[in-house]
A and B are shown apart, each in its own frame.
Chain A
């Protein structure tokens, strides 16, 4: 391709940027075949190796009015996430059934008598409690993630248009992931009222404490704004969401019997953080096929996969526009170092088979370890301070 360009009339010579805009497939292919890096690995047009992720910066606590907030930059992509907690009273919930809260109320009492807190004992969670927990979060819509693309974030964005398919499916994927990871525990979002034991000392049942009543829920509105679209929005959005959730502080709230409303305390020492169960990492890969898709059954029969294909980790906007097949993995590791798959999605082509997918899941699991330490570090600093991560290359 290059020789063609050089032999042409010098006045018609194309600059690399023009070449990249006109023939993106040929441009990326020529970069891959021409620029082996120091260790002989093919390099992408953006000078990264195939499985090299971009530099990342994570900041938490930028917004003073949100309960939790974060900013994530991955290369040219930047995303802001703010989480606000609002209350919903159980009296306002249509068809609220007092018995719905009975399992957790019993458990709460049992734990209170044994001197443990509800969140300490992962081992003891029985299935009924687990089911009720996820049902509360799902049925009452206690988590409301939403992704918005801002004017100017990408040339393809049309101001004033309804939310695009991208925005809608990212919002839905965030919600689905929050559901399937069961990251947030419903207990963190409950506001209880413990009725006083009025007949204490009078009857024999004085040691029997009253059953606590569930009076309200916290609803978490998770708003994610895409400030700049540089490819791989989902990874940025998910990282921002996890960092912001780790940063969320929920004030101590109690039910005031006389006023019949929930009151919040402004005492910061009484406020609590969310105790997240898991913290999986999302990794997005694009599959680059230089050959255009076949145009007839004859071409299919001849087979056009011979030209090879490449996988790009953490694709930028330019690469995303060229690649049709995408692989998305959400993984974490448990205490024993075993890889857990939360989401895997391979759609849009026929190149990636189960072996390649297995490798990509393992690469994602390696990235999880790094991501975990970054977010732990960010949250530990407390005050708004950016923690940078130098992009690096992984192998399965």
Chain B
């Protein structure tokens, strides 16, 4: 399994930006964050004691539709729970997150945004960190599919997604809590529980036995997706502070 490709602070105009590519699903997402910004006052939309989070998704090939709206509402609520919206300087202001899907199969009418969720969430997290938005925790997102023969596949390919019975997205915070849990498609409650157990094992860094009962010794496949976040930020910091490290 190839590792995702990510970079941070690519765009100059935005307060923070990041790009993230998931090589298995082929989705590449460009994220830009502006925060804190003044928002036009709207009745009811603003709470005086905290910042408003706004997310907009720009699909690559189609114009934004109802499908994007419903994905936006999930992302907005998920990211709002991570961002410290009451932090000094943030109340009454806005955190605006723009996500452009640059590569990958577009999601049609009645399609599901679950395959895009890991890329969307990881790129927004990197962009939020790049914009130095105060966060209560970081998170990592896992993606599973269940095939017709009730087999659990982690990080399925687009072909596997198309044939899958159900899709599952689970996010864990760095504090060890479940931040997001999405299921789409029919699946038995027992399989649901198995997936959650597997997700927890991956999160805790335990080696998960494969379908044949073997534990994979391939180092890359055991990498938790949280590692890519840390590595990307580290790389960027090392590059930015090269002058300081070299004078040491």
Contact = CB atoms under 8 A, between A and B. Distances in A.
Interface string A292-318: 111111001000000000000000000
Interface stretch (A62-70, A71-79, A109-117, A342-350): A342-350
A141 interface: yes
Nearest to B49: A292
B157 interface: no
Contacts of B80: 324, 348
Contacts of A275: none
A294 B192 contact: no
Nearest to A182: B186
B192 A296 contact: no
A353 B200 CA distance: 11
Given A324-B81, A341-B192, A353-B177, A180 B70 contact: no
Nearest to B182: A345
A349 B81 contact: yes
A166 B182 CA distance: 18
Interface stretch (B84-92, B204-212, B229-237): B84-92
B184 interface: yes
Given A168-B66, A295-B86, A297-B136, A339 B186 contact: no
A304 B78 CA distance: 19
Contacts of A168: 66, 69-70
B110 A179 contact: yes
A169 B182 contact: no
Contact of B112 (A171, A176, A295): A176
A185 interface: no
B188 A341 contact: yes
A339 B110 contact: no
Interface residues of A, number: 52
A295 B73 CA distance: 23
A357 B181 contact: yes
Given A296-B87, A345-B183, A354-B193, A338 B70 contact: no
Nearest to A342: B186
A296 B86 CA distance: 7
Contacts of A358: 189, 192-193, 196
Given A175-B110, A292-B86, A354-B193, A300 B181 contact: no
Given A293-B86, A331-B189, A344-B192, 7 more contacts: A171-B66, A172-B69, A173-B70, A296-B134, A344-B181, A357-B181, A365-B189
A217 B109 CA distance: 19
B180 interface: yes
Residue among A181, A353, A361 having the largest count of chain B Cβ atoms under 10 Å: A353
B202 interface: no
B178 A350 contact: yes
B69 A352 contact: no
Given A141-B109, A156-B44, A168-B69, A361 B189 contact: yes
Contacts of A179: 110
Residue from the set A341, A342, A343 with the largest chain B CB neighbour count within 10 Å:
A341
B87 A295 contact: yes
Given A172-B66, A295-B87, A297-B136, A340 B189 contact: yes
8 contacts: A156-B44, A158-B43, A293-B84, A297-B136, A324-B81, A341-B187, A347-B77, A354-B197
Nearest to B183: A344
B72 interface: yes
B70 A341 contact: no
Contacts of B69: 165, 168-169, 172
Contact of A343 (B67, B183, B189, B200): B183
B182 A344 contact: yes
A278 B74 CA distance: 26
Contact of A180 (B86, B186, B189): B186
B18 to A, nearest CB: 21
Contact of B184 (A278, A297, A343, A347): A343
Interface in B137-177: 137, 148, 166, 173, 175, 177
A173 B86 CA distance: 31
Given A296-B134, A341-B188, A354 B181 contact: yes
A213 interface: no
Contacts of B100: none
Contacts of B78: 347-348
Nearest to A330: B183
A176 B110 contact: yes
A354 B81 contact: no
Contacts of A362: 189
Interface string B94-138: 000000000000001110100000000000000000000010110
B46 interface: no
B84 A300 contact: yes
A55 interface: no
Interface in B58-80: 66-67, 69-70, 72-74, 77-78, 80
Given A347-B180, A348-B81, A354-B193, A341 B186 contact: yes
Contact of B178 (A294, A324, A354): A354
A377 B63 CA distance: 44
A133 interface: no
A165 B85 CA distance: 21
A352 B110 CA distance: 28
A165 B110 CA distance: 16
Interface in A42-86: none
